[in-house]
Structures are given as structure tokens and as C-alpha cells.
Amino acid sequence: MAYAHRFIDGAPCSLPRGKAICVGLNYADHVQEMHSQRTAEPMLFIKPPTALVALASPLMIPAGLGSVHYETELALLVGAPLTGCGEQDVLPAIAGVGVALDLTLRDLQNELKQAGQPWEKAKGWDGSCALSPFLKPGQVGDLQNLRLRLESNGERRQDGNTRQMITPVVPLISYMTRFFTLEPGDVVLTGTPQGVGPLTPGDRLVVELADLIRLEVSEVRARDVT
Ligand code: ZN
């Protein structure tokens, strides 16, 4: 079924499926586990609209393309256009708050990094941006104090807090709009805390945003892409 944005409370959502603008290396503990260096400015990349899928069961991952890693991230749904905006314009333009898995072909990403090539194949493939239904911003407290957790087969793998972001949501989105216009229906992914790891067919996941969102994925399933 084609992806469409949804609100958790069932309220209708007319925002179209847009692109996802993402930031890499936005949590210091994740920078460390990747043996990377902190960047002087946010490191941005984009997933096309065809990457967006519901974070639901079965969660499809491509087979035969090397390891697929989960990255649990705070996701913001954009409700109004933003171009070169100041920080004061960011929060009023946010229509929803959710949680995403930034699914990454890690082996391929490492090959591309080494070859100095763009990351699109590792980051922007069909189904690489799995999104929860969204809360209205008024249902969420401080965006910079939200626990992000992922459990795989009963074991806690990620347990971070958005207060650990290197570039917080508001300056991050303002920065993004210097380069990319955000349009209604676009989504912003804000980076992952430490604990990223591989998904295997048959895995069962629990993804949580504070005590606001708890999603169970009862099955990860491989999809043949060759
Ligand atoms: Zn990510």
C-alpha cells in the first residue's frame, strides 16, 4: 500500500508524501561508534519521497545488498514551506513529531565513503525511511528532552535522548533551509544516538519515543531486489 502520513490520534492528514532531509553524525556517541570525526557544520543528505514507508510490520529490507542497519531518530513532519528561514520560523512550521528508522545499507555506505562517492544508494533506496504516525506538536513537550529507544528481539540496542543532539532541531532545520526548501509533507530526520546495528529477517523490534509512541514491528522481512 502506498505510504501516506498519518496522525496517531486518527485526525486526517492531507500533507503529501515529500522528501526526507536528514543529518548524519548529530550525536557525539554515534560519531564515536562510527569512528568518525565531528563535522564543523551539519552533514546533510536527502532521501527521495519513494524512500518513505510506514514503520510497521512487516518491515521490508533489501536482500543481497549487504548489511542493513537501523538508526532510531526523532522525525519532524513539515507543515508549511520554509526557505532560508530564521530560527523563529521553524517551530510554527512543524506539523507533526514522530520517530523514524533511517535504514542504511552499511556495507555499501562504507564502500561509497572509501571511494569518495555520494551516499544515495546506501541511504535513499525504496523503503529506507520508515516513519511512525505523528503526534501533534502540542502533544509533545520539549523536543530536546525526548528519550529514543530501540529494542531488537527483546534486547535494548539504542537508548538515547534528544538532549544529546550536537545541533538541536531548531537551528538544524534553519540551517537545512539555507540549501533546501522544505515543503509541506517533507520530513526532517535529526540523527541517531549510539547503538546502531544490523537488521536480520525475522527480527522483532520495539521502537519508542519517550512514553508517547511505542511501535512493535513483529517481523523484519527480506525483499528480493535482484
Ligand atoms: Zn541517520
Digits of tens for pLDDT over the chain (226 positions)? 689 999 999 999 999 999 999 999 999 999 999 999 999 999 999 999 999 999 999 999 999 999 999 999 999 999 999 999 999 999 999 999 999 999 999 999 999 999 999 999 999 999 999 999 999 999 999 999 999 999 999 999 999 999 999 999 999 999 999 999 999 999 999 999 999 999 999 999 999 999 999 999 999 999 988 7
Phi/psi region, residue 25 (left: phi>0; alpha: psi -120 to 50; beta: rest), is left
> Whole-structure pTM over 0.95, yes or no?
yes
**Ligand 1 midpoint to CA 206 (Å):** 18
Give the residue among 4, 20, 10 at the shortest CA–CA distance from 186: 20
CB 130 within 8 A of CB 101: yes
- Let me know if 66 is exposed, middle or buried by CB neighbors in 10 A (0-12, 13-18, 19+): middle
Question: 3-state SS of the chain: helix, strand, coil percent to 5?
Answer: 20, 35, 45
**Ligand 1 midpoint to CA 177 (Å):** 18
**Ligand 1 midpoint to CA 101 (Å):** 8
CATH fold of the domain at 24-224: Fumarylacetoacetate hydrolase; domain 2 (3.90.850)
Q: How many CB atoms lie within 10 A of CB 25?
A: 19
**Ligand 1 midpoint to CA 71 (Å):** 5
**Ligand 1 midpoint to CA 58 (Å):** 21
Give CA–CA dist 225/100, Å, rounded: 23
**Ligand 1 midpoint to CA 169 (Å):** 14
**Ligand 1 midpoint to CA 211 (Å):** 22
